[in-house]
Structure 1
Amino acid sequence: MSSREGGKKKPLKQPKKEQKEMDDDDLAHKQKLKEQQKALQEAKARASQKGPMVGGGIKKSGKK
């Protein structure tokens, strides 16, 4: 089966997606997600300022 078609085939072009209109519920939901993401970033920043959490876990004695 020898064919002269070599290399990678190009994918078929997909039709462009239409911009769907957003209603008030969609806008409110996006705003809520942005606020949650922002709060999460602030919490991560505050946690990293305090330093790593160490000292927990099982403590081993030096005896064998």
Structure 2
Amino acid sequence: MKKDKIKFHWQTRKEKIELNLKISPKNKLIWLEEFNRFIYKALSDEEKKIRFDKRKSEI
């Protein structure tokens, strides 16, 4: 099965997180949800007040 290259982006005022993965197309949404969950947990309370925007993630 061909794997797609995916680049995830998340940027806060303090840091920029970028993750490059090669994953199969059927797992793309699972990875996107997991990545968003991981980033949300890593944010401080102040940063959580900033609207969490999934559209920042590129598929």
TM-score, normalising length from structure 1? 0.32
Bigger CA radius of gyration? 1
Task: Return the structure number with greater strand share.
Answer: 2
TM-score, normalising length from structure 2? 0.34
